[in-house]
Amino acid sequence: MKRHLLTLAVVACAITASLLVLPRASAFTEQPAVGSAAPDFNLTTNEGKEAGLVDFKGKWVVLYFYPKDFTSGCTLEARNFQRDLAKYDEMKAVILGVSIDTAESHKEFCAKEGLSFKLLSDPDAKVSESYGSVMEYNGKKLSARNTFIIDPKGKIAKVFVKVGPAGHSDEVLAALAELQKQNATTE
């Protein structure tokens, strides 16, 4: 009987402790809502130039966050976006990748993988945080694998959270086609 009460007490303490931690962790998980203005940013590109959301006004933007250059999942995701780049061009959409890596790391990653779209350096994770796309790994902040489709007016049109890199570009293309179809009927 004492053993069961002790186990119950430990479980109750664990549940209480997790509830106290949850509100702090939720700040890392809140993404901007569909229909809201996309948070603005100004970051350094793999080309060593500054780029901001305002530079792409009037275009569809696929803003994808990923953890780290040169890792298997991030490489696969980037290669698939590159593979489908002509389809995005036809849809008047630009691809922008964001991670905490340096602009120099992005430059090397683009050269190695043959990527011709922009990668943006977010070393302090402020833009990643503004998009609710931060995670911790071994005590270090990284960009979490989330994607946002931003419409030509600068509004969040679609949010993908915790995406799987393998089929993600196909998923984004399908969503983009549907959003553009809906957009054409409302104009």
The set of catalytic residues is 74
Pick from 78, 80, 132: nearest CA to 105: 78
DSSP one-letter code for 182:
H
Could you tell me how far CA 145 lies from the centroid of its own chain?
Answer: 5
> Cβ(88)–Cβ(94) under 8 Å?
yes
d(CA 6, CA 67): 41
CB atoms within 10 A of CB 170: 13
Q: Which two tokens stand for residue 17?
A: 């402790």
Backbone angles phi, psi at 117, to 5 degrees: -100, 165
Compute the C-alpha angle 114/117/118, nearest 5°. Answer: 115
